[in-house]
Amino acid sequence: MKEVAVLVGSGSIGQAIIRRVGAGKHVVLGDLKISAANDAAKILENAGFEVSTVEVDISSRDSILNLIEHAKSFGEIKNLVNAAGVSPSQAPIKKILQVDLYGTAVLLEEFGKIISGGGSGVIISSQSGHRLGALTEEQDFQLATTPTEELLNLKFLQEISDTLKAYQFSKRCNVLRVMFEATRWGKRGATINSISPGIIITPLANDELHGPRKDGYLKMIEASPAKRAGTPDEVGDLAEFLMSSRGKFISGADFLIDGGTTASYWFGDLQYLKKTH
């Protein structure tokens, strides 16, 4: 039996993180598309990692529980990395809320029940959650603490009328949910944090940068303090620190890694975006 590291969502960012925390462990790759998980597994196996794959739909609690049972068969679950999700251009409002908001909340809840002592987790959120205006104290509390099966019934979520707002609320909920679950994970001696990346170069981002909306993306990158996009490895380096022995005093926190784009959105050259968001 080995220590187990679970990655949900086998894209570039998830792979970058698991390569840094999965050495010597059994790595479980979960993905809605088993073909994507298998492709990632082959890359990792050729780099010396021990890997198994499982199909998982995080909008289904039963599917998450099946993932956990699969992972437990190899040993104690030491790490969780959630890099799964859908974007505003990929899915309708209902699907975004089911996957990005509800699904992430269930993952945090269920893994929090079985994560091993000394374990750690990272949830990949988004800079988009930081572009949502301030919510009321009551709304923050509801997003953080409402029982998972009642989350989608919150009135202000049911009133969302566009996919971008659904995505922003989902990512805000991720951060708040991580804070709430950190109090539970801590009782098991484990830490949980979220990372909110900006524009990171992945195959999907490359498509956007060469597609019909490329001018808007390039303008946003140029107007950011860093004046460039980020790489999956930079997100991986941050996650590695948070999940290592050096990050044991950090839990329930969110980390923006966006080249200063959010700062520019609120106070700099990207303020023009507020009119469209």
User: Per residue, what are the HEC states of the chain?
Assistant: CCCEEEEECCCHHHHHHHHHHCCCCEEEEEECCHHHHHHHHHHHHCCCCEEEEEECCCCCHHHHHHHHHHHHCCCCEEEEEECCCCCCCCCCHHHHHHHHHHHHHHHHHHHHHHCCCCCEEEEECCHHHHHCCCCCHHHHHHHHHCCHHHHHHCHHHHCCCCHHHHHHHHHHHHHHHHHHHHHHHHHHCCEEEEEEECCECCHHHHHHHCCCCHHHHHHHHHCCCCCCCECHHHHHHHHHHHHCHHHCCCCCCEEEECCCHHHHHHHCCCHHHHHCC
**Alpha-carbon dihedral sign for residues 154, 101, 65, 21:** negative
Q: What is the pLDDT of residue 211?
A: 77
Does residue 216 belong to any structural domain of this protein?
A: no
Q: Which amino acid is at 21?
A: V
Residues classed as catalytic: 167, 171
Positions in the chain short of pLDDT 70: 276-277
Q: Can you give the residue range of the structural domain that contains 61?
A: 4-205+232-260
Does residue 227 belong to any structural domain of this protein?
A: no
Q: What is the pLDDT of residue 217?
A: 84
- Cα 266 to Cα 118, 135, 218, 270, 275, distances in angstroms: 37, 16, 18, 7, 11
Q: What is the pLDDT of residue 69?
A: 98
Q: What is the pLDDT of residue 216?
A: 83
The answer to whether 67 and 30 have CB atoms below 8 angstroms apart is yes
Does residue 37 belong to any structural domain of this protein?
A: yes
Q: What is the pLDDT of residue 209?
A: 82
Count CB-CB contacts under 10 A for residue 179: 18
Report, in angstroms and rounded to the nearest whole number, the Rg of the chain calculated over CA atoms: 18
Does residue 237 belong to any structural domain of this protein?
A: yes
Does residue 39 belong to any structural domain of this protein?
A: yes
Does residue 32 belong to any structural domain of this protein?
A: yes
Q: What is the pLDDT of residue 206?
A: 82
Q: What is the pLDDT of residue 277?
A: 59
Which CATH number covers residue 194? 3.40.50.720
Does residue 274 belong to any structural domain of this protein?
A: no
Does residue 127 belong to any structural domain of this protein?
A: yes
Quote the Cα angle for 131-137-139, to 5°.
70
Specify the length of the chain in residues: 277
Q: Which residues pair with 208 in a beta bridge?
A: none
For the chain, the domain total comes to 1
